[in-house]
Amino acid sequence: MERCVPPVEKTAVLHVRQLTAAELKDVRTAKRFFKESAWDEWRTTQPLEFDGPNRQFEVPTDFATDLVSVPGAVAWFVPRAGRYARAAVLHDYLWRFPDRTGCDRRSADHRFRLQMQRDGVSLLRRWIIWATVRLSAMIQAKGGAGWWKDLPGAALLVLLVAPIVVLPALAILVSTVVFWILESAIAVVVPDEAPPPLQLKT
């Protein structure tokens, strides 16, 4: 089997930007909870093209994405950006626009895994990421036609990796909550200056 290697062509590079001040304000206003997560949203600055099994798709310029959707407590295991970032943007595009792409959630998840392989993501890591997004879709009742066929394999993979991930994730979660309490207490006791206007390039 030919070993996967990361893409090197300029057309295979992911180009993204942070939100402008106006975009950031709109996103934060729309979010009921976790408004800080608006900082995790990005926009593509060039069309994103693919080869291999996903060659028929092209993600347009200014497409909104959060790259890899991962809770902060497990970001040490699967960071938001990595070799799988292009595949994550493709995945967002496929499942958000099923009428345009012809992909339901199951097909989008499958193509996500294929693109990760194409971009050189290791065998175990791409299957774990795939299993996680598959189970997430099933829990949200968005698994797509034939979702039950993926359930045993996805559940087994998640169960196998859980002992490695759960304990560190719990420690990080507890530390995050403790820091949030401390941060909130200090904010009440020590008045802070009003923040300056947000200056981001537009």
Q: Can you give the pLDDT at residue 61?
A: 94
Q: Tell me if residue 59 falls in helix, strand or coil.
A: strand
- pLDDT tens readout for residues 108-166: 999 999 999 999 999 999 999 999 999 999 999 888 889 999 999 999 999 999 999 99
pLDDT of 201? 56
Residue 22 binned pLDDT confidence (cut-offs 50, 70, 90) = confident
pLDDT at 91 over 90: yes
Lowest mean pLDDT of 102-106, 128-132, 183-187, 198-202, name the range.
198-202
pLDDT score at 1: 43
Residues 33, 12: contact at Cβ < 8 Å? no
Q: Which pLDDT score is estimated for 199?
A: 64
Could you tell me the residue ranges of all domains in the chain?
10-189
Chain segment 36-86, per-residue pLDDT in tens = 566 788 899 999 999 888 999 999 999 999 888 887 788 888 888 889 999
pLDDT of residue 54: 93
Distance in angstroms (rounded) separating the CA atoms of residues 90 and 24: 22
CA distance 106 to 134: 7
Is 80 exceeded by the pLDDT of residue 3? no
φ and ψ at 70, to 5 degrees? -140, 135
* Tokens at 162, concatenated: 């859980």
> Residue 175: CA atoms inside 13 Å, Cβ hemisphere, count?
8
pLDDT of residue 124: 93
